[in-house]
Amino acid sequence: MIGSVLTLITAAVIAQAAPVVLPTDSGLVALSGSWVVDLSVKPDEPYTRPMTLTLNKDGTVSGLFYQSTIDAGRWKTDRNRTCVSFRTHDDIGPYHTTGCLVGDRVEGQTWAEARNFLFIWNAVRAK
């Protein structure tokens, strides 16, 4: 009985002492800022929209995508990639977006749940 109690106490102390791992600042800096998202369906008909990402040290993301405010979002650097995932919405429904930094651009996709389509897109840094 005493051994079980000591085991539980030890586990609780270790859990409290475990370090919190936050995203690395290099990913935060590399992906934060203004982007131009290419949502073109046909190569000869350009269709671009702005994206502004603010990556916070606590792992959250805020900003704008396709002129909609990001409702909730997270970012993380892992496996040599920095990626974001967030939700926006319009008057019809939610949009679920993910994107990863690949070199000097972002490769992403957006699922428009209520509209039943998936956009595959790329973004370049706004000038």
Decide if 17 is inside a domain.
no
DSSP 56: -
What CATH number is associated with residue 82? 2.40.128
Decide if 15 is inside a domain.
no
Contact criterion met (CB below 8 Å) for 55 and 62: no
What is the pTM for the complete model shown? 0.75
| Residue range(s) defining the domain that contains residue 117 | 23-125
Task: Provide the residue-wise pLDDT of the chain in tens; the chain has 127 residues.
Answer: 565 544 444 444 444 544 333 445 656 668 999 999 999 988 899 899 999 999 999 999 999 999 899 999 999 999 999 999 999 999 999 999 999 999 999 999 999 999 999 999 999 999 9
Q: How many CB atoms lie within 10 A of CB 125?
A: 11
Tokens of 50: 């702005």
Decide if 6 is inside a domain.
no
Decide if 10 is inside a domain.
no
Tokens of 113: 């749940």
Identity (one letter) of the amino acid at 36? V
Decide if 34 is inside a domain.
yes
Decide if 14 is inside a domain.
no
Contacts of 1 (CB under 8 A, 6+ apart): none
Decide if 41 is inside a domain.
yes
